[in-house]
Structure 1
């Protein structure tokens, strides 16, 4: 049996949500991403994670096929995407921000809901690689970060959130979200974290 491994999951850091020139660039979320220097901190964390032998890096993104067949029409989060042309697979908007280095062999997950565990290949990829610990960060704290923490906890993964590389639509919303998941995960910062295997 292979030794247990860790992964750093980069959550929803795609152009539609975090690029200054994207549709969210000047939104409250975009302002928080810039004010908190989330892109630079994430890039440094990726480099730190890659320096640890065998530690995986994974990228999660929201994406819908041509015609948006997977998009839930009644969702307050996603129902506006078709009209606005957001999250269209194969478009610039669903590409990971260019400041964040991707490499061949990285875990890649396309999701159609808030949680990357729902109807995706994430869990199969984690189990195939004997991952037991998940480091994660991204946007937004009140959506995908919360979902990963809760869903991973219930699947018996250990979860560590890099708090300073997350952002919500306000500092208050970010703080509230981190407070509500604090019982289900540990928190760290991109500067202090020591990436390692379980």
Structure 2
């Protein structure tokens, strides 16, 4: 499917994990000091594209990492994540909570989809939502390039979505991880800058 022939109304900015619990100083990761400048810069960098896409009839759909509350409200956390992020606690990434929400800079999003793993497609309603919205092309932004972004892009690829990764609209915890991950995605999808895609969206 050629990006040139996919109409704007069938295009979605897919926002991966740009949530308060990841980015805000009072969120789960902020309180633990787990962040990177490149990650914190993303919402404002992507915001003009989100606004433009909305104005042209496109979609802004966010996929939000979720820790499902279990007995007593304790979050269900995968063993590997417990090791990587031991600071995660009750109430973090809880569905419906402030921390779980997409950051204010990218609001209002059209649809928020809960996700429980790296890929936003894994055991989620994302594919159903995209079908209901008539979306054929995904402009992928968010975090982290080597985790949720890469996994989601590869799953989109095998589902025949026309997928474009925004190189400067994604980030990882180190520039090196980001660069290696972008290089690995180039055979899978088109890689572009936010500015270049804004030019395409704005063109008649």
Instruction: After superposing the two structures, state which structure 1 stretch, 127-136 or 10-19, moved more.
Output: 127-136
Task: Name 1:62's counterpart in structure 2.
Answer: 65
Query: 1:45-194 residue pairs with structure 2 within 5 A?
Result: 45-53=49-57, 55-67=58-70, 71-76=76-81, 80=86, 83=89, 85-103=91-109, 106-193=110-197, 194=200
Normalising to structure 2: TM-score of the pair? Answer: 0.82
Deviation sequence 1:110-136 (CA, Å, 0-9, x none) = 011111101111101112222211111
Deviation at 1:93, TM superposition (A): 1.2
Q: RMSD of the TM alignment (CA)?
A: 2.5
Gaps (5+ residues) in structure 2?
Answer: 1-6
Query: 1:5-44 residue pairs with structure 2 within 5 A?
Result: 5-25=10-30, 27=33, 29-34=35-40, 37-44=41-48
Deviation sequence 1:67-121 (CA, Å, 0-9, x none) = 2688353233687475364212232211111121215xx1220011111101111
Gaps (5+ residues) in structure 1?
Answer: none
User: Which structure is higher in RCO with an 8 Å CA cutoff and minimum separation 6?
Assistant: 1
Deviation at 1:49, TM superposition (A): 1.1
Deviation at 1:28, TM superposition (A): 5.5
Deviation sequence 1:151-196 (CA, Å, 0-9, x none) = 0001111100111111101000000110111111111111221238
Which has more helix, going by share of residues?
A: 2
Change (3 A) 1:70 1:119: farther
Normalising to structure 1: TM-score of the pair? Answer: 0.84
Distance 1:184 1:69 in 2: 38
Deviation at 1:44, TM superposition (A): 1.3
